[in-house]
Chain A
Amino acid sequence: MTKPVLWIAAAFCLALSVGPLALLASTASKADPADLYLVIDVGPALPARQVAALGGRDVGPTRGALARMVHAPPAVRQQLLDAGHFLLPAGALAAICGVGADRFTASLGKT
C-alpha cells in the first residue's frame, strides 16, 4: 500500500478506537460499586503486602503481567490514588459486556 492509503487507514483506525478508549479512560477516576479495581501495574511497584497493609486484598488466583485485580474499599482506593496508581473500575469492564451496566452508569456521577 502507498503512504497516503496508510495515512487514511490510520485515521480510520483512530476514529474506531478513540471513542471506546476515551470512554474507558474517563471511568478511571470513578468508584466501583463493588470496590473492585484493575490496578495498572506498570508504574510504581505494588507488592501484595502493601495492598494488604492498606486494608485491601488481591482478587484471583494469579497476577497478570501488566495489571492486577484488587478489592479496595473507598479508603484504600483513595490511598492507592494518592500513591499515583491508575485504577480502572472492574464494573466498567463488566459493563462493556452488559453486566451491571445500568448500575455502573448510575454510579458514574460519584467520585
Chain B
Amino acid sequence: MTYLKSLTPVNMVLALATLLALAVAMTALIVGAALIPVIAVSLGCLGFGWAMARSQPKLAPIGAAVALMGQAIAFTTAFQGHPWQLDSHMLFFALLACLTGLRSIAALLVATVIVALHHVSLSVLMPSLIYPPGAFMENLARTKFHAVILVVETIALAATVHHLNRVAREMQAQTKALEASLQDADAAQRQALASKELAETAQHDAVEAQTAAEAALEQARDAQEVRRLAEKEKQMADDARRAADAAKAREQADVVDRLRFALTRLEGGDLTIRITQAFPAEYETLRSEFNAAMQTLEDMVSVVAQRSEQMEAEVREISSATNDLARRTEVQAANLTQTSDALNSLTRSVQENALSVEEAHRSSLGAQSSAQASGTVVAKASEAMQAIKTEASEIAKIVTLIESISFQTNLLALNAGVEAARAGEAGPGFAVVASEVRGLAQRSSDSATSIRALIERSGAEVQNGSDQIIETVGSLKTVESTISEIPARMNLITASTQRQSDQISSLNGSIAEMGAVTQKNAAMFEETNAACTKLADGAKALRALTQHFQVSDGVALSDKVA
C-alpha cells in the first residue's frame, strides 16, 4: 500500500527519466557517439529536475518535466552526425505527451519552452553546425514548422490536462459529498442509539417518579389540613387589621382636612396661617414642617417685597441719572462737533499761513537776488567813480601844463614888451601884440586856475560819491546777508506751520473719535435707560405679585407698601 502511495505522477515521470538515461547511454554506445558529453547532459538534466522536485514541492511536476525533456536532449545529442538524428526528434513529442500524466499545465508549458530554447540556442548560436552552408533560411523555416507542431501539440495536451483536472475535481467533489453522506449516516446512527439509551433512562425515571408522586400525594393531604387551620387564623388577623386600618384612615382624613384648610388659606395669599392643633404622633412631624415652611415662605415673601420696592426706587434713580447722563453726553457731543468745526477752521487758517509763508519765502528769495544785483550795480558805480577820479587827476596834470605854458607865454610876452621897447619906432605895434599875448596868457592862467578849482571840487565830490558808494555797498551786503537769513527762517516757520497743521489734524481725528465714542455712549445710555425701564417694570410686577400675600402684622403687603 505504501509502495502504491509513493507512485505519484511525479515519481513515475522521474523513474521514466531514469530509465531513459540508461537508454540514452546505451544508445550513445551503440551509435558510437561521444559518451561523456551525452551522459553529462542526461545526468545533468536528471539531477537538476530531481533537485528541483525535492527542494520545491510546488515545482515537483516542473522538475520531473525538466528531467524527462533533458533525456530527449541527450538522446538527440547522442545522434550527433548520425543519419537518424532527425528521427530521434520524435522522442520530444512522445515525452511531451507522457507529461500529461503529471496533470500540470505549467509543467507542459515549461517543457515546451525548454524544447524551444534548446533548438533556438542551436539554431541561433551555432547555425553553421546545424544547417548546411547557405541553407540557413530554408532550415529556419523547417524549425518554424517544427515549432508550430510543437505548439499545436502543447495546446492539445494542455486542453487534455485541463479536462482531466476538471473531471478529477468533479470526481473529488463527488467523493467528498459521498464521504459527507456517509459521515451523516454514521452520525444519525449514533444519534439513534443515544436516543434509545435516553428513552430507556426516561422509562426508569418515570417509574421512580410515579412512586415519588404517590408519596407526595399523601404529604399533600396532610398539608391541606394544615393550610385550612392557617386560613382560619389568617381570617381573624385580617379582621383585626381592617379595624386598625379604619381608625388610621379616620386619622389621616382629619389630617388631610386640616392641611387642605391651611393650603386653601395659603392659596388665598394668607401667609400667616399655621396649624396649631396637634396631629397624631406619627403626623406631628408633618404639621411642624408645614408651619416651618410657611414661616420661611412668609419671611421670604416679606424680604422679596421689601427688596422689590427698594429695587424699584433704585432703578428709578438709575434711570433718572442715566437720562441726565445721556443729556450731558449729547451736549458733550454737540460741543465736540463745534470744537471739531473750530479745529477744521484753524487747520484751514494754518494751511493758509503756510501758503503765505511760502509766498514770503519766494519774495525773500527775489529780494535777495535783487540786493545781490544792486550790490553789483553799486560796485560798478564805485569803479566808475574811481575811473572819474583817475581821469580828474589826469586833467589836473593837463591844467598844470596849461598853467606852465601860460606862465611861460606871459614871460615871453614880457620879454617881447622889453624887446619892443628896445626896438624904437617899430616897437609899439609889437608891444601891443606882446601885450595882447600877455593878456591871453593871463586869461589862460585864470581859466586853468578856474578849471583846477573845478577839478578839485569835482574830485572832492567824486571822493564823497565814492565814499557814499562804499557805504552803500556795505549797507547792501548787510541787507543781502539779512535777506539770506530770511529763507532759513521761512523754512523754520513753514516746518513749524506744517507740524501745527499735522498736530491739529491729529487733534481733530482724536476729537472725531471722541465724538464717535460719545455718540456710542449716548446710544448705550439710551439702551441702559430702556433696560432700567424694563427693570423698573419687572420690579413693579414683582411688587404686584408680593402684594397678593398677607404677612404676620395683620395687613396685606399692598397696604404695607402703600
Interface residues of A (CB under 8 A from B): 3-4, 7-8, 10-12, 14-23, 25-29, 92, 95-98, 101-102, 105, 108-109
Contact = CB atoms under 8 A, between A and B. Distances in A.
A26 B121 contact: no
B91 to A, nearest CB: 15
In order of increasing CB-CB distance, the 8 nearest A-B pairs are A25-B37, A101-B128, A26-B34, A15-B114, A98-B128, A15-B117, A22-B77, A16-B121
Contact of B48 (A11, A19, A22): A11
Contacts of B536: none
B88 interface: no
If over half of A's interface residues share one DSSP class (helix, strand or loop), that class is named, otherwise mixed; here it is: helix
Contacts of B121: 15-17, 19-20
A4 B48 contact: no
Contacts of A21: 37
Given A4-B59, A11-B66, A18 B128 contact: no
A88 to B, nearest CB: 12
A8 B70 CA distance: 14
Nearest to B136: A98
Interface of B: 33-34, 36-38, 40-41, 44-45, 48, 52, 55-56, 58-59, 62-63, 66, 69-70, 73-74, 77, 80-81, 110, 113-115, 117-122, 125-129, 132-133
A12 B73 contact: no
Chain B CB count within 10 A is highest, among A7, A28, A29, A105, for A7
A107 B122 CA distance: 20
Contacts of A98: 127-128, 133
A18 to B, nearest CB: 5
B262 to A, nearest CB: 97
A4 B107 CA distance: 13
Contacts of A22: 37-38, 40-41, 73-74, 77
**B interface, over-half SS:** helix
Nearest to A5: B59
A38 B69 CA distance: 32
B62 A8 contact: yes
21 contacts: A4-B56, A7-B56, A8-B110, A14-B44, A14-B70, A17-B121, A18-B45, A18-B70, A18-B118, A19-B118, A19-B122, A20-B126, A22-B37, A22-B41, A22-B73, A23-B129, A25-B37, A26-B33, A27-B34, A96-B128, A102-B133
A98 B128 CA distance: 5
B128 A25 contact: no
Nearest to B131: A101
A92 B110 CA distance: 31
A17 to B, nearest CB: 7
Give the residue among A15, A23, A96 with the most B Cβ atoms within 10 A: A15
Given A4-B58, A18-B45, A19-B118, A11 B40 contact: no
A18 B59 contact: no
A43 to B, nearest CB: 14
A13 to B, nearest CB: 9
A17 B122 CA distance: 9
A89 B70 CA distance: 26
A10 B546 CA distance: 108
A26 B117 contact: no
B114 A97 contact: no
Given A11-B114, A12-B113, A19 B73 contact: yes
A63 B40 CA distance: 29
B108 to A, nearest CB: 13
A27 B3 CA distance: 44
A29 B114 CA distance: 28
A19 B73 CA distance: 7
A16 B127 CA distance: 14
B36 A25 contact: yes
Given A16-B121, A96-B126, A109-B81, A7 B38 contact: no
A33 to B, nearest CB: 15
Contact of A20 (B55, B58, B125): B125
